[in-house]
Structure formats: structure tokens, C-alpha cells
Structure 1
Amino acid sequence: MNALVAQLRHRLVVSCQAYPGEPMRDPDTMRRVALATAAGGAAGIRAQGLADIAAIRDAVGLPVIGLWKDGDDDDVFITPTLDHALAVARAGAHVVALDGTSRPRPDGRTLGETVAAVHERTGALVMADCATFEEGVAAAEAGADLVGTTLAGYTAYTRKQPGPDLDLVARLAREIDVPVVAEGRIHTPAQAAQALRAGAWAVVVGTAITHPTTITGWFASAMADAR
């Protein structure tokens, strides 16, 4: 068991990301958000973009899961090519998160080829962001160090649930030897605890902790309904 992976066992990873055009879309702001979540007990940080990864790696003494979103949300866009993955590792990510679905990658490489190249050229670990059980199994077989449920409900061929896909977490945790990371629509502490009970190695929470625009919208919508 890799020491970094062991460090994340049964712990919280906080995704510190802001969307393009938002006031918080700034590497220094994300660095400060990461520091705040570390003070609250986060065991790791998930960060998007090379500048954010570098800023957070330099400031926060926690494992950094890095990714680079590039492309259309309907296609492979989370660290879509080997070049993206190598850049993420070189920016300082301890773990490179990349698309682990069965969809064709833009550079024509297989998932296994990409994972092997990241391992060989950088020494970084790889987290495969998957959407289905079959993809999680394939990602484990391809050599991924962590398998995430990140894309469950975010592809054209999966159904988006209001909460996390705990059934997928549980099934993967039972069937593969690679640690399973629960990610996606985990909005409450109770849901995070449920994910651990379902067998998750670690839990990633983003929006509910680090995206004030969405959180504000939840409150405003509930109050509008009450009116």
C-alpha cells in the first residue's frame, strides 16, 4: 500500500475549484480556500488547473489530487490526454486525476497506456474518474491507484441522482482491490459518513464546502419555495 494512499484512508478530501468567470476563479483564492479546509480537518485537496495545483502544493502540506479540465463537458475533459496528465504531475500533483471512462481519449491512447506513462515518467499516482461499475473495474485493471465515482451521473449514459451513487461505491468496493473514492453530489456530513459505510476508502466533497455560489443558491431556492 502506497503511503500517500494509506494517509487518505477513511478521510476527507476537499475539492477546491471555481468555475471560469467566477469571482473566486483565482489561484491565490483557491490556495486560501485550501488552507482553510486543511485547518478544518481535510486530509487531502483536489485542485483543478496548473496554477492552482502549484499554489496549493506550495502552501498546504497535504496530498494534492490534481486535474486539468479542458474540452466539452459532454466529452472526455478531465485531464483528457497524456500531455495534460504529465503537466498536472509536473505542476506538483501527488495524484493525477483523469477521465477513467470507456470513451475514446482525444490523443488516441488507451487508459492503460496513459496510466503507465504517468507512472513511468513522473512517479505520480493516478486516480481514474469513472461513471459506471464496468469502467471502475477496467480502470483498476489498467493500473489506476485509486478509482473514483466522480463521473457517475455526469455522462450521457448514466442517470444523475439527487445524491451520491452509494450503490456504485459499495459495488466497486466489494469487487475491486483498488481503493474506491466516493465523489459526486455529497452535500452533507451524513452522506459522507454513508459513503464510508458503503466501503469508500476516502470521500471527496467539493461544492458543499467550497462553492459559495451554489450553496447560496440552495438557501435562496428553499426560501423562495417557502414564500
Structure 2
Amino acid sequence: MEKSELLRKLSHGLIVSCQALPGEPLYRPQGGVMALMAKAACQAGAVGIRANGVQDIRDIMREVPLPVIGIIKKDYTGSSVYITPTLAEVDALVETGCDIIALDFTRSLRPHGESAKEFLEQVKRRYPHQPIMADCSSLQDALTAQSAGADFVGTTLNGYVRGDPPMAGPNFELVGRIAAQVQVPVIAEGRIQEPWQARRMLELGATAVVVGAAITRPLEIARHFVNEIRLPCGG
């Protein structure tokens, strides 16, 4: 899908992250469950899906007609980067035909020692027409991603990289600063728990908003309620 068409489809909309990791109740290596999550999101009016792993991405693409942002989470010894960390994962994602490939674009070095900028430039040389989303942690990440050829920048990794200040909720300030200083579309993501927070991100200039755990991770949703109920009652 052309970038202009992706922008038209995603603009001012909700992208639902449909992911389950090993050890979580909804994780199935054979797939199937996340495609149902994506179908529910589509019926609710979501404009896109973010998904992890070849099996789930292919299942979801068969089930719903929405643009899919694909990632592969994989740990490599010696590197903290785990979202689409090497060209091997990029190659696998290209094979799925997903509309956008997202990858870590933070100050952390890739498993083979490249910087985020060097890695993205490698990806763009190999796949010049593949839309790429840079999962950023800071304004500087987003500015560098733009210069390296990213088609979209996201705030996915803000608060999750060593040295970032811990954040309990969404980083509205960062999204506003990126939207004001970066010309490529901004996708707000990270700790968005309430509908009003998603709306605020769009008001600050985000093209679209990704919400995951608050919608598609029932274990986390249930824990949120349980922890609140267990708090001492006020008197």
C-alpha cells in the first residue's frame, strides 16, 4: 500500500496492538487468538492493527482488511534491542506483506553493533519502498529517524530505555514536541489507558494512536481492577 493511502486510512484513528507473549494466557504459538482480537478491533472501528510475529501477522491479515504494523520481538545476547532488531527479522516481515514494519529506533545499539540510524539506512537500501515506523524514546530519536528516512515515528519506547525517566502514564509533552518539530507522521503510543488520553494525543498533533494493553491484554486489565480493589478504603 502506498504511503499516501496508509496516511488516509490511519489519519485521526485508533490502531489496536494485538499481541500476546509466551507465558501470557492468550499466547498460542499456532496463532488464531490475536486474529480474533483484531476482528473485534476492526468491528469497533479501529483503523489499523499492530502485531508481533509472522504467524499472528498472517492470521490477522487474512481476517481483517486493516493496515497492519508488523514487528518481531526477539532477544539477542549483548543488546537490549528486541523490536525487529536485525535484518533477519525485517526480511521475515517483508515476506508477510504487512503494510508497515516497525523497529527500535533508540540510542541502544543493535545486536551487530549498528546504531539505529545505520540500521535504518541498511533497511532502506534493501527495501526502499517498504514503509518503516521508527519506535522512538525521545525527540532526538524522532529527529534522527526522520533524517534516516523513517516514514512514521512513534513514541513506543519512551520510558523503556535505560536513562529515560520513569513514566506512570502517557507522555503528552513528548508527543506534542515531536509533532511540532518532525515532518513525518507521528504515531502516539505508550501507556495510553483511557479514551480521553488517546483523544488528547490526536489534539496534540499525532496522526494516529496505538493502544494495546488497555484493550487486548485481559491479564493486565484484570490486575488493574484487582489492585485497585485491594487498596485500603478511605474513611
TM-score (norm 1): 0.94
- Report deviation, 1:94: 0.8
Q: Is the 8 A contact 1:89 1:95 kept in 2?
A: no
Structure-2 change in CA distance of 1:163 and 1:176 (3 Å)? same
Counterpart in the other structure of 1:177: 183
Mapped to 1, the partners of 2:85 and 2:224 lie a distance apart of 31
Corresponding residue SS for 1:163: coil
Q: State the AA in 1 paired with 2:107.
A: S
Same amino acid, percent of matched pairs = 43
Mapped to 1, the partners of 2:167 and 2:115 lie a distance apart of 29
Q: Is the 8 A contact 2:108 2:115 kept in 1?
A: no
Structure 1 residues 116-131: aligned runs within 5 Å: 116-119=121-124, 121-122=126-127, 123-131=129-137
Q: Is the 8 A contact 1:181 1:202 kept in 2?
A: yes
Unpaired segments of 5 or more residues in structure 2?
none
CA RMSD of aligned residues (A): 1.8
TM-score (norm 2): 0.91
2:139 aligned residue (133, 143, 167): 133
- Report deviation, 1:5: 2.2
Counterpart in the other structure of 1:96: 101
Q: State the AA in 2 paired with 1:5.
A: L
Unpaired segments of 5 or more residues in structure 1?
none
Corresponding residue SS for 2:231: helix
2:59 is the alignment partner of 1:55: yes
Of 70-79 and 142-151, the range deviating more from structure 2: 70-79
Counterpart in the other structure of 1:69: 73
Mapped to 1, the partners of 2:68 and 2:99 lie a distance apart of 5
Mapped to 2, the partners of 1:156 and 1:112 lie a distance apart of 18
Q: State the AA in 2 paired with 1:164.
A: P
Counterpart in the other structure of 1:148: 154
Mapped to 2, the partners of 1:69 and 1:158 lie a distance apart of 21
Q: Is the 8 A contact 1:119 1:125 kept in 2?
A: no
- Report deviation, 1:83: 1.5
Dislocated runs of 4+, deviation >3 Å:
108-123
Instruction: State the aligned residue count.
Output: 227
- Report deviation, 1:181: 0.6
Counterpart in the other structure of 1:8: 10
1:186 aligned residue (166, 171, 192): 192
